[in-house]
Structure 1
């Protein structure tokens, strides 16, 4: 049913408008009595429960940051069977993001280009919604992904991240420092180890007991990937997320004029699969077994999730395939994992 809906209706709509329509339905699924019905249909097999970060995840498969930017969909996404939801990216200062259009489908590649620009209502508003979410009896594990406010100069980024951490870490199950989005000017430059070390130290101290992770780009050189992984271990971080979207456009099947018309932004979806696997293996090769590695990028099927777990991922995240697979995607993944 969903593939037909996608081909005949959603694929003809502006992608951001389609996302907002889907979000309205997902929000409804987070409200009783709809949540109870959805959970009865999508609840993961207890055998999939995973312990990580001092938390229990009902499934190792969750939603990557970017889908629920403002902590409005987490309850509904949990009801759909996702083991965790990473909300954000959230910035200390509210911001509208980049001008529209800023989200583009590459349907032959089952991919998306986005240059959203961290559009969100800011850390204070997100904190209030997190407080309400934590009062719910049933909810998924909720991670919070934080980024640099666009109005803040790169040299002042540390204080900006710390402000977000102070507001959000006490309300998050885990916290993620995002220094790898291609859509905020200067942000990826913070991945240089000499710049990243003091930033992560300051956010780690502000986060207190909340597990802290860092999210990196797939476009880093192999030695840079491993240098950041070693730094994360050295600083006592709880883990690392590999990886964010890519600025590469290599190997796409979508006609070149369509790709060029989409313009700049991060590419996500199936074309990222091979590099995401490579980055996962690079990280796992230099970190201790107990260090949490969350793999993201190009994940669509239960076989993809199993492959990441076998390669050393602790948890796995997806996002783009949700657009192509529809609302029962998490249930399909979890059932596939249960049959393994």
Structure 2
């Protein structure tokens, strides 16, 4: 990190975590955060994932820019792709504050935001107004907390977002909306996916659709889910969302309710990714997310079965330059190992990680 970046992070860490999050977004949107001006790329890194052309495989996970207010700046921050949201049909405030906690000793965060967002009408309008470029921008889609028909909520958001987003992610794995994870069951998930795909197709646009899964599924549940993904027509998966586990934490905030992300999630999410890769026989593109804070961890995630990766929590501790640093280091390491393209690394260590 540069001295300016270190100073900026130190200032933000003096603020309440959610206020710091909001101020960082404002600074980014205002052009006050220095960055590379675009994603680093090379013939080794440029890749295709479910029809998306990525200049590099290092993406931004959903949850940072929930309302798509800084999309242009994020596309210039070094990421190979960006995911915003989650968006629900109607605006909702989310859970009461405080709902975001830094666990500095564990290099982690706990959040219980609860899908706070401006609603799909406003978010879709912002996505429609953005300048399209080489960095794909996708939308994480969800359901309102008080909805009587959550599957219908997902379909409605998908239909509105499909013409303006480069990809869609069905988020049935957030732990912060009551009973949302129940939609990961085979029958419910199959019906939900069918509704989303029908709404997407009816819009006249066909962006790829991913399903984001939880790291806490047991082997039987993951096997059922993998079968649904194989048969449903979705284009890929994102593994994984945050965890309810608190194993090994040392921070005073460890007992806070919500989803845990950051460094402690890495091993759990990578094992789940590898298991999903094996269950789908490597035929379903998987974006790996959870605990990545270095080029080595990005390498491990890809070797476990990921076609691309996403970061988020590590940015809180290492700054936005992390994406560019990881991309450049990955490229150098691929060259050092004589690997001509990133895809040749995908799944190389899946069996070891799955164990």
TM value normalised by structure 1: 0.91
Provide the C-alpha distance between the structure 2 equivalents of 1:15 and 1:216, rounded to a whole number of angstroms: 26
Residue 9 (structure 2) pairs with residue 6 (structure 1): yes
State the alpha-carbon separation in 2 of the partners of residues 312 and 13 from structure 1.
38
Give the structure 2 partner of residue 143 of structure 1. Answer: 138
RMSD: 1.7
1:100 counterpart = 2:97: yes
8 Å CA contact 1:147–1:161 kept in 2: the answer is yes
Tell me whether 1:43 sits opposite 2:46 in the alignment. Answer: no
Q: What do the CA deviations read for 1:88-142 (whole angstroms, capped 9, x no partner)? A: 0100111111111110000000000000111110011111111111xx1535211
- Work out which of the residue numbers 161, 171, 174 in structure 2 matches 1:181: 174
Under a length normalisation based on structure 2, what TM-score does the superposition of the two structures give? 0.88
Distance, in Å, in 1 between the alignment partners of 2:133 and 2:185 is: 40
Q: Which runs of 4+ in 1 moved over 2 A?
A: 1-7, 9-12, 37-40
Query: Residue 168 of structure 1 aligns with which residue?
Result: 161
Between the two proteins, the alignment pairs up a number of residues equal to 325
Task: Determine the structure 2 residue equivalent to 1:295.
Answer: 288
Once the two structures are superposed, the pairs formed by residues 313-324 of structure 1 within 5 Å of their partners are 313-324=306-317
Unaligned stretches of 5+ residues in structure 2: 334-355
**Secondary structure at the residue paired with 1:87?**
strand
> What is the CA deviation profile of residues 13-57 of structure 1, one whole-angstrom value per residue up to 9, with x for unaligned ones?
10111111111121123xxxx89x8444x5303232111121210
State the distance in 2 between where 1:72 and 1:139 align: 19
> Which residue of 2 is the match for residue 221 of structure 1?
218
By how many angstroms is 1:323 displaced?
A: 0.3
Unaligned runs of 5+ in 1: none
Q: Secondary structure at the match of 2:245?
A: coil
Match of 2:22 in 1: 20
SS of 1:294 mapped into structure 2? strand
- Contact 1:74–1:140, Cα closer than 8 Å, also in 2: no
Q: Of the candidates 251, 255, 279, which is equivalent to residue 254 of structure 1? A: 251
Between Structure 1 and Structure 2, the one with more helix by share is: 1
Residues 75 and 139 in structure 1, CA contact (< 8 A), matched pair in contact too? no
Q: Please give the secondary structure, in 1, of the residue aligned with 2:163.
A: helix
Q: Kindly state the Cα deviation for residue 80 of structure 1 after the two structures are TM-superposed.
A: 0.9
Once residues 263 and 289 of structure 2 are traced to their aligned partners in structure 1, the CA distance between those partners, rounded to angstroms, is: 11
Residue 152 and residue 109 in structure 1: after superposition, are their counterparts in 2 closer, same or farther (change >3 A)? same
